[in-house]
Amino acid sequence: MKSAIVLGARQRYGFMICEQLLEQDYQVYAKDFIQWQTSEQEERWLFIGRNAHLQYAHLHEEKNIFDEKVLMIIVPLVDFYSQQKTEVHDLLLSILKEQNSMQIQTPIVLIQPSCMQRSYSTFSQAIEKIKEERIKMGGEVLEYHITMGNEDIYFRLNNYSEWIKNTEGGEIGSVIHHLAEKVKADGC
């Protein structure tokens, strides 16, 4: 069975990604930080939380979040940039650095906001550094860039290619469809 880890799973884009993956028959290992949970997210989670193909865990409870053998690790950075939670940013950075240090070859998929929505803070710079280190180690980084208003989505692989406009539309579902095709083509 196809499988994926989604970090920030209960946030806006993380939740939509989980929904789309479940619709495409993925086993989803949903992980999120308890530090930024809201009652609205808890309520919305009830819609998919009972799905047999979904396993949820708070990130602070796990020592190694990469125990599961998965096709990809998805990080909807759009959610992380939209909430200025330094503690959560620091935890995410530490998780991604650990993943790099363990030299896990699972592709990382970053769903990025537009440059105008990103502040070039230490968080942004740290994400770029983690990407560069991962690529140097031979790991794969797939990036999707969502423009303001979610009208367009762009894709690029390992910082080497130009941004390619996704012609399937600007929905998260089209990102998941594109990922599924990429995984199938590359045999990840």
Q: Where are the domains of the chain?
A: 3-186
Domain 3-186: CATH superfamily, name plus number? NAD(P)-binding Rossmann-like Domain (3.40.50.720)
| pLDDT at residue 188, as a whole number | 44
Judge whether 62 and 96 are in contact, CB under 8 Å. Answer: no
Cβ neighbors of 185 (< 8 A, separation 6 or more) are none
Cβ neighbors of 117 (< 8 A, separation 6 or more) are 78, 81, 82, 148
- Closest to 78 in 3D by CA, of 38, 111, 109: 111
Q: What stretches in the chain show pLDDT beneath 70? A: 61-67, 115-120, 147-174, 177-178, 180-188
| pLDDT at residue 39, as a whole number | 86
Q: What is the model's pTM?
A: 0.84
